[in-house]
Amino acid sequence: MSPALAVNDQRSRSPLERIDNTGCMFGVAGTCYQRRTAAWKSMLLLEHARGGWMNVYYGNLELIDDAKAEWFAKVQKTYFPLQSFGRTSPFGGLPGRQEPGGFCSLDSKGALYTVVNPSQAVRVIRLPLLHHLQPPLAFGRLQFRDAGYQPRLSSDELTLGPEQLAVVGYGEYAKPKYDLGVQGDVVIPRSIRPVSAQCSPDGTNAMLATLNAPDTGDLRIVLRQFAAGKSRRSAAGAPPNGRTLGNLLKIEASQNHRSQPVICQYDKAIWIGLSWAVGEVRHHDLDAGLPITIRCSSVERQSVELRLEFYAVNYDRRTPQARLLAVCDGGLVNDKNLSYRLLLPARLALAHLALASAASLALPAALNFLLDCRAGLVFAAIRFLTPARIFARPWALNLRFLWARVAG
């Protein structure tokens, strides 16, 4: 259950502790969109922050290794006493209206605020007092955040980046032992600003926009779909036979009569569908200041309204981006064929391993490695030297392969 649904249920006089929100889903099935453990920390925090007495975790437990299990247990140890006390309340607005808000759980020792900024802007959120016996929020501590933008906390005012989630503790829960770290695979831009564009219809259920490429930063495109004034979801089934959202809500970009890659994360077969799509064109793929054309379309048979927004976003390039990317033409593209520029450090890494092995062995063994194992090195380059594998595969396995060739 989303935060909006939980708030709506609570406002309809259903106590939060009686709501089973089933908000944590990590796994390989279509029900959880084959997301595995992507953004799993945020999901787990929201599962507990909503205050329900029934906590359901859906997915594949084998994806939770020892380190993740320790973090999982730390969240439970923090939130279970607060849940049992039964003093969890929502605050703020609704995410669907881009209004920041969240949930506060408190007891006699302090309070934990889980806050989300669903808008495409940096927002300042004032954290409210939710009980007449609650002390003023004078000294708090940021205990969790998404990567990228660094939130700022001043007494009861929290500044969050666009679409960022954070947890703030007060009283007992402001101590460092409640620190929950960072959600590393959700990267929030350090700055964002709207970009004006000229939009016009381009056939049935399609819009064409022309704007100047940003001088700095990537171009973010936000597409929202409406019918009769309400959000309209598009869906075409679940995996393995369902069509992905990139084939239903399309975002295309071109500049100088050349198609430009649009990076997106929504191109999945989502059984419940989506009413929105977001894509980004990287700055290095654009000629800054020159016009760029964006075409957004929907395959819905009924007439729909497409609303477009554009933003220039700047990321902290020291923060690694998500490993798996997609191009919004319906074809899934991974790091192997998207970023060949990463092959250079991969080749250097293999060369480093080879030289280190040669230096640590006798000269005959080194000559044997260099002369007789050329075929093995070619296989290693094909097998291991894709960006996704060289950075995701444990080095021990790569070294084990090379050591076997040397020893032989």
- Strand-pair partners of 194: 311
18: domain CATH number is 2.60.40.1180
pLDDT bracket for residue 366 (50, 70, 90): very low
Segment 333-359 mean pLDDT: 41
pLDDT at 269: 86
The last residue of a domain, from among 267, 301, 333:
333
- Do 133 and 195 lie in one domain? The reply is no
pLDDT computed for residue 224 by the predictor? 96
Query: For the chain, what is the mean pLDDT?
Result: 80
pLDDT band (50, 70, 90) for residue 6: low
Are 222 and 124 found together in one domain?
A: no
3-class SS letters over 122-133 = CEEEECCCCCCC
Q: Do 129 and 234 fall within a single domain?
A: no
Separation between Cα atoms, residue 145 and residue 42, nearest integer Å: 9
Whole-model pTM? 0.74
48-54: average pLDDT: 86
Q: Give yes or no: residues 305 and 208 share one domain.
A: yes
- What is the helix (H) or strand (E) element at residue 356, kind and residue range? helix 343-360
Quick one: tokens of 390?
A: 């060289």
- One domain for residues 250 and 307: yes
Average pLDDT over residues 111-128: 96
CATH number of 323's domain: 2.60.120
* Most distant CA pair in the chain, distance: 80
Domain count across the chain:
3
- pLDDT, tens digit, 9 for 90 and up, residues 308-326: 999 999 998 665 554 334 4
**pLDDT value, residue 320:** 54
The answer on pLDDT for 355 being more than 50 is no
In a shared domain, residues 204 and 184: no
Q: What is the pLDDT of residues 12-31, one digit of tens each?
A: 567 777 777 777 888 888 77
Q: List, in sequence order, every beta strand (DSSP E) within 315-388.
A: 326-327
Looking at the fold, whether 167 and 113 belong to one and the same domain comes out as yes
Residue 14 is predicted with a pLDDT of 72
Together in a domain, 126 and 182: yes
Considering 106-110, 175-179, 336-340, the range whose residues carry the highest mean pLDDT is 175-179
Q: How confident is the model at residue 33 (pLDDT cuts 50, 70, 90)?
A: confident
**Confidence bin at 262 (pLDDT 50/70/90):** very high
Q: Are residues 183 and 196 in the same domain?
A: no
Residue 319 pLDDT: 57
Which of the pair, 14 or 83, is modelled with greater confidence?
83
SS3 letters across 58-78: EECHHHCCHHHHHHHHHHHHH
Domain that holds residue 11: 3-188
Residue 404 has pLDDT above 90, yes or no: no
223/267 same-domain check: yes
pLDDT of residue 387: 37
151 and 288 part of one domain = no
- Among the candidates 142, 167, 188, a domain finishes at 188
- CA 216, CA 269: separation in Å to the nearest integer? 33
Contact call for residues 362 and 314 (beta carbons, < 8 A): no
- Rounded mean pLDDT, 362-391: 40
- Give the pLDDT score at 24: 85
Range with the poorest average pLDDT among 35-39, 187-191, 305-309: 35-39
Q: How far apart are CA 351 and CA 396, in angstroms?
A: 16
Determine contact, residues 277/207, Cβ cutoff 8 Å: no
How far is 212 from 196, CA to CA, in rounded Å? 8
Name the range with the highest mean pLDDT among 60-64, 88-92, 252-256, 361-365.
Answer: 252-256
Please say which residue of 300, 333, 366 terminates a domain. Answer: 333
Element (H, E) at 90: strand 88-92
Q: How far apart are CA 97 and CA 408, in angstroms?
A: 65
Do 142 and 195 fall into the same domain? no
